[in-house]
Structure 1
Amino acid sequence: MTRSTANFNDRNDLISKVPQATAIFWMVKILATTVGETGGDALSMTLDLGYAVATLVFLAFFVITLTLQVRSDRYHPAIYWAVVVATTTVGTTMSDFLDRTAGLGYVVSSAGLLFAVLLILAAWRAVAGRIEYQNIVRSRDEVFYWLTILVSNTLGTALGDFTATSLGLGFERGALVFAGLLVLVAVAWRVGKRIPVSVLFWAAYVLTRPLGATLGDTLTKPHEDGGFALDRITASLAILGALVVIVALQHWRGTRIAARPVQ
C-alpha cells in the first residue's frame, strides 16, 4: 500500500518518525492488534485485575512508550511498535470498560468512538491543512497521529465485539467481514484515483483493529462461544514473539540494504 507520494517519502525517510505503509507494516499491525486483544484480556480477566485497573496499567505503559517515541528524532522500530501495542492494549481494556462496566453497550460506544475518530481527523485537517499518515515529522502531526491511533484502536475493539455479539456473527465470521472490508480498501488504494491516500490509510488502520480483535477472541474464547479456548497469556506471548521476530528481521534487512555501497 504505497500508491502515492513515493518520491516525497523518499526525501523524508531519514526524518520521518513512522514506518512506510508496506505489506510488512500491515502484517505487523494486525499482529499488534491481536496481541492487544489477548494481552488486554489476560490482564483484566485471566489475572482478574478488572477493566479499570488494567486500563490504568496499560495507560501507564502507553505514556512511557509514547514519551520515548516523542523524544526520539527518527523512526525506531522497537519504540514505535511498543507504542502501537500499548494503544491496542489500552484500547481493549478501555473499550471493555465503556461497554461493560460503564454499561454503554457495543452500539453506543462504537458510534461514539467512530464520531471521535472522525472529529480528530477533521481537526487535524483544519489545523494542519492535511491529514498525514507516513511523513510524521512535526510535533503537531505526531500528536494527532497517536491520538488517532489510540481512539481508533479503542473503536476497533468495540466494533469487533459489536459484530461478533450484537450482530450475532461470531468471532470467525466477524473476522471474515473485516478482512473483506480491508480487501476493498486495498483495491481502492491500488486502483482508486479520487479517494485521498490518507483517508484510505486511516480506514485500513481502523479496520485492522477489529480484525485483530476478532482474531484474538477466536483464539482465546471458549469453544461454546466459537473460539479455540487457548490460554490468553500463552497466546499473547506467542503472537508478541512473532511480532518481534518480523520487526527485527525487517530492521536487519533495512540496515543491510542501507550499508551497501552505492554502485
Structure 2
Amino acid sequence: MLNKVPEVTLWFWVIKILCTTVGESFADYINETLGVGLVPTAVIFTVAFAVVLTIQMRLRRYVPAIYWLTVVVVSVTGTLYTDILTDKYAVPLWLSTTVFSTLLAAVFGIWYARERTLSIHSIVTTPRESFYWLTVLVTFALGTATGDWTLELTGWGPGKSVLLPLALIVIITALWRYGANSVLSFWLAYILTRPLGANIGDWFVTPTSEKGLGLGTMVTSLIFLAAILATVIYLSLSRADVIEGRGEHTVTGGQRTPAPDSPRRERISLATLGAVAIATCAILAYANSQPHASALDAEDGKAPSCSGSTSSLSPTEAQQQTASAFPAGDVSRFRSISQDTLALVQAGDQSGAASRITDLETAWDDAESRLVAKDCVTWTYLDQEIDAALSAVRASNPDQHSETQALSTLVSTLGGPA
C-alpha cells in the first residue's frame, strides 16, 4: 500500500485541532442538547467508528476525506469512553490518566517490538495501520482524561484553560526543531492537541456571562465542520499533505528534524522536556492549592466543588468571611429572604415559607458565578447551609424545630441576629 496517513505539515495540526473541537462540541450536542444520553451516544459513535475505520482500512492509499472523517469519529469515541468512566462509574480522573498512559505505553511497546518502527511515514501495511489507529484512540482517551484532570485541579475557565496546552505544544515544537526525538515530539503534541481543541470548543460554547463566546454546541459544531470541510477540499485538490512513495522505514514521527542528527541535542531536549514536565506539575499543584471551583462541575451543570475545605471555618469565621468577601447587596438580599422565611415558619405559614425560600434559591443561583470567583470555600459553606434550609422547609413532613434551626443558622452566618 501507499502510505495511509498524511504528511505532518502545518495543515495536519490545524485540521487535527479542528477535528478535536468539533468532536467535543458535536458529542455534547447529541448527548446533552438532544438528550440522547452518554452511553447511547457512545454506542452510536462506536458503531460509526467501526464503519468508517473499515472503509479507511480497505483503502490502498491516503484519502483526505475518509482519513479525517475517521479522526473526527475516533476523537468523539475516545472522549466518550473517558466521560463514561468519569461520569457513570465515578472513576477518578487521576486514575483514568494513569490507566490510559500505561495502555498507551503498552501499545507503543508492542508496536515497536513487532514492526521495529513507530514512524507514521511507514504506515504501509495493515498491521501498522491497526497499531496507528489503536494509538490514536488511546491518545484521545488519554488527552480527555489529562485535560479534564487539569480543569479539575485548577478550576481554570474558558480561554485561560487554552493557554497551558498551547504553551506546551509551542515548547515541544521548539525542541523538535532543536533536535528532540521526532517520535516523542509528535505523539506528545498529538496528545496535547486534544485538550487544546476541546478547550477551544468549550470557549466557543460557554455563555458570554461566564467569559465564553456563547455560540452554543450546534453553532460551534457547524463552524468547525465548515472549516474542516474547506481544509479537506483544499488538501484533496493540492495534495499538499501526501507522502510520496511507499514510506520510509525510519523511526520518525513527522517531518524530518531541521537540525542535524545529534545525540547530544537529543539528550538536552529530553532533559528540557523533563524540566518542563516538573514545572507543569508545579503550576498545577500551585493552582490546586488555591481556593477554586471545579470547571468541570460548571461545565456539567453541577454545583461547583472547591479545592479548600469548609471544615476549617468556624461559624464566626464564616460570618466574617461572608461579610468581607461577598458584595453587601447580595448578602443583604439573602439575609432578608431568609428572615422572611423564618418568620413565616414561626407563624405556621408553611406554604408561604416554601414559596419565599424559592426566592432565596433563585437569588443564590443567579449570584453563583460571581460569588464563587470571590471566595469559593465560603461560598461552599453558605451553599451547604442554604441546602439544609431548603431541605428542611421543603420536607414532605416539615418539622418546625428543624426548619427554625436551619434558617436561624443561615441568618446568623449572613450577619443577622442569632
Q: Secondary structure of the equivalent of 2:159?
A: helix
Higher relative contact order (CA 8 A, sep 6+): 1
In structure 1, what residue type is equivalent to 2:46?
A: L
Superposition deviation, residue 173 in structure 1: 2.0
Code of the residue aligned with 2:195 in structure 1: it is: P
Name 1:260's counterpart in structure 2: none
**1:37, 1:254 → 2: CA distance?**
28
How far apart are the structure 2 equivalents of 1:65 and 1:197?
A: 29
Per-residue CA deviations over 1:94-146 (Å, capped at 9, x if unaligned) read 22111111101322212221221122112211221121223210111101100
Which residue is 1:149 aligned to?
136
- The Cα shift of 1:166 comes to 2.6
TM-score after normalising by structure 2:
0.55
Answering whether residue 16 of structure 2 is matched by residue 20 of structure 1, we say: no
Aligned ranges for residues 48-59 of structure 1 at < 5 Å?
A: 48-59=35-46
User: For residues 135 and 73 of structure 1, what CA distance do their matches in structure 2 show?
Assistant: 13
Contact 1:37 1:213 in 2 (8 A): yes
1:40-189 mapped onto 2 (5 Å cutoff): 40-189=27-176
Q: Would you say the 8 A contact 1:133–1:201 is kept in 2?
A: no
Note the residue ranges of structure 1 that are not aligned, 5 or more in a row: 1-13, 258-263
Hey, what's the Cα distance between the residues in 2 that align with 1:143 and 1:234?
34
Counterpart CA distance in 2 for 1:21 and 1:164 is 29
Moved over 4 A (4+): 223-226
Q: Considering only aligned residues, what root-mean-square deviation do their CA atoms show, in Å? A: 1.8
| Residue number among 243, 250, 255 corresponding to 2:228 in the alignment | 243
88-97 vs 18-27, greater mean Cα deviation: 88-97
Aligned position for 1:207: 192
Aligned counterparts of 1:221 and 1:50: Cα–Cα separation in 2: 20
1:103–1:224 Cα change, 3 Å = farther
Greater shift in the superposed pair: 245-254 or 71-80: 245-254
For 1:253, give the aligned amino acid: S
Aligned residue type for 1:202:
W
How does the TM-score come out when normalised to structure 1? 0.86
Select between 52-61 and 228-237 the one with higher mean Cα deviation: 228-237
Paired letter, 1:119: A
Instruction: Give the conservation status (yes or no) of the 8 Å contact 1:15–1:74.
Output: yes
Amino acid at match of 2:25: T
Could you tell me the percent identity over the aligned residues?
A: 36
Q: Distance in 1 between matches of 2:207 and 2:42?
A: 23
SS in 2 for 1:171: coil
